């Protein structure tokens, strides 16, 4: 009984914490297309290669892009905003795996779809982009990930001790780079402090 109650408590704390975290992230979202228009009106230095920014919100600016611009003040010559969608079907056909939406200034929105039985392998999925005219050279492609650092604060959506438990669990979540099978030497993780 105690074990069951403990598991239930941990699961509900994780679920509620994720809801609060996503609400905070969504409240800070900047719309992507107007941001790019503003940015490219007075563009930063463009450097050779491709940057792929993984984002859960295809219509918002990834935090990793904002941090990269703030610290490095450069933009790659080709910029891809990549969202992974998990569908409620067992498998996704290869011809339906990727959709590409061109944006301005050699920027693109990619959506990669997986079924619940598919193996998630982003580099392999990006190989399929050759049929769409995109070829990603592994040594000239950098993957940018946003990592949320959860900071418990009084008066959030949960009790203080639940926030501490959620923050601890969030720190121990598996690495997105490993989950998506990204090459370790081509990944840059940029952290964002989120108060819950």
pLDDT of 51 higher than 90: yes
| Averaged pLDDT of the chain | 87
How do beta strands 107-114 and 98-102 pair? antiparallel
pLDDT of 1 higher than 90: no
Total residues found in the chain within this entry? 196
Go through 154-170 and write b for each residue having 16 or more CB atoms within 10 A of its CB, e for each that does not. eebebeeebbebbbeeb
Lowest mean pLDDT among 11-25, 51-65, 85-99: 11-25
Q: Name the residue with higher pLDDT: 56 or 100.
A: 100
pLDDT of 195 higher than 80: no
| Residue (of 10, 20, 8) closest to 152 by Cα position | 20
pLDDT of 33 higher than 90: yes
pLDDT per position as a tens digit, 120-148: 999 989 888 888 888 888 889 999 998 87
For residue 181, report the phi and psi dihedrals to the nearest 5 degrees.
60, 40
Q: Report whether 49 contacts 142 (CB < 8 A).
A: yes
Lowest mean pLDDT among 20-34, 50-64, 110-124: 20-34
pLDDT per position as a tens digit, 182-191: 998 899 887 7
The pLDDT of 9-23, averaged and rounded, is: 84
Domain range list for the chain: 31-155+174-195
Q: What is the pTM for the complete model shown? A: 0.82
The pLDDT of 41-59, averaged and rounded, is: 91
pLDDT of 157 higher than 80: no
């Amino acid at each position: 009984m105690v074990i069951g109650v403990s598991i239930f408590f941990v699961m509900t704390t994780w679920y509620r914490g994720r809801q609060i975290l996503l609400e905070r992230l969504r409240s800070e979202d900047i719309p992507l297309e107007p941001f790019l228009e503003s940015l490219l009106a007075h563009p930063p230095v463009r450097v050779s290669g491709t940057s792929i920014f993984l984002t859960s919100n295809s219509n918002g600016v990834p935090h990793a892009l904002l941090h990269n611009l703030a610290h490095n003040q450069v933009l790659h010559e080709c910029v891809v905003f990549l969202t992974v969608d998990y569908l409620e079907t067992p498998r996704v056909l290869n011809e339906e795996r990727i959709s590409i939406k061109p944006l301005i200034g050699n920027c693109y929105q990619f959506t990669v779809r997986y079924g619940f039985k598919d193996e998630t392998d982003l580099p392999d999925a990006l190989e399929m982009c050759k049929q769409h005219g995109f070829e990603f050279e592994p040594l000239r492609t950098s993957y940018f990930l946003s990592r949320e650092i959860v900071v418990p604060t009084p008066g959030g959506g949960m009790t203080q001790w639940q926030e501490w438990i959620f923050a601890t669990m969030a720190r121990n979540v598996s690495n997105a780079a490993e989950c998506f099978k990204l090459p370790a030497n081509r990944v840059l993780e940029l952290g964002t402090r989120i108060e819950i």
